[in-house]
A and B are shown apart, each in its own frame.
Chain A
């Protein structure tokens, strides 16, 4: 790779990372705007609900009682108890609210502790556990594929495809020679290709894509 390209890449990386940081800060200054269909949530409302009376708001909480429906909203370290009116008619998904379930609701705040509900749905608490667990499965799968298929070229600061994909089992036994490439402790540019060639990939490495 020509030196010029290497320099331009480094410059581009610095600029892009800087721009990304700038975008995080910029996005942090964005406030909700009902004109854009963007409504305040419990983190906005819970600290001072009286300021939002008459506004459309969204909230998420745990069901404490069902007749009438009362939810406990935890937001920004504050606990906000809200009575939800017309919840059963407003349900768009899920069962009728039951004590202990998670309930999301959207509607108009009629006083600081009452929501005239337009839309709502319920979820079982365990469904959140499912969501995080299954997401972790997805993340681990991709991580495994990245480690078996790609490696870091430290000299060029690039991520390059391996000549031969490793098998997943190579990642699980870091003491073996085949996984040594992943630790990249003594890796240098001239030995990389040799090291890759020396690694004996199993058939599984090619197949489990």
Chain B
């Protein structure tokens, strides 16, 4: 039997941490960098946090189901491309071009930072098959072994990152 195309499959929920941890991680990273780079104001910290949301735009599937798009347009379609390198990079590029010329490189760098941190955290997730997702697609569809550190439904990742974020926020305020 011919394998079914991926558009028959639901997004691999298990390969995503909850969004708050990702957003907090980007906040922490960007705020730490702001101690070194004067221009990195809270508004630019927000840019890194947006970058951290990019891969989970694949959950647009909840609003506009892939099956609906396929039914209406008769083409294969998968929002999941947001959650691999190809779609993530294009989204970063679109965000970069939306910024005015004088801050474009900074916006691009911070979007990329947030996006990369998202993938770094998601590659640590537990997967039932023991293998993670095709993070480098379309360069390769290889699923690397997953270290099985935590699940998207665990509470401690958000708790730990919230404590760290609070510490960083407090330290920044004291400077």
Contact = CB atoms under 8 A, between A and B. Distances in A.
Interface of A: 1, 5, 9, 12-13, 16-17, 19-20, 23-33, 36-41, 43-44, 48, 51-52, 56, 58, 60, 75-76, 92-93, 104-106, 119-121, 123, 127-128, 130-131, 134-139, 141-142, 145-146, 149-150, 153, 156-162, 165, 206-207, 209
A106 B129 contact: yes
Interface of B: 1-10, 12, 14, 18-24, 41-46, 49-50, 53, 56, 66, 70, 75-81, 84, 86-87, 90-91, 93-94, 97-101, 103, 126, 128-131, 134, 137-138, 140-145, 148, 151-153, 155, 158, 173
A149 B44 CA distance: 9
Contacts of B8: 43-44, 76
A29 B137 CA distance: 13
Nearest to B24: A138
Contacts of A120: 128
Given A104-B128, A149-B42, 10 more contacts: A9-B97, A16-B97, A25-B76, A30-B137, A31-B5, A40-B3, A58-B128, A119-B128, A141-B49, A209-B41
Contacts of B126: 92-93, 121
B127 to A, nearest CB: 8
A135 B57 CA distance: 12
14 contacts: A5-B101, A23-B138, A25-B76, A27-B81, A28-B66, A31-B6, A38-B134, A44-B9, A56-B129, A60-B14, A93-B126, A128-B153, A145-B45, A149-B46
B145 A27 contact: no
A160 B100 CA distance: 7
B5 A29 contact: yes
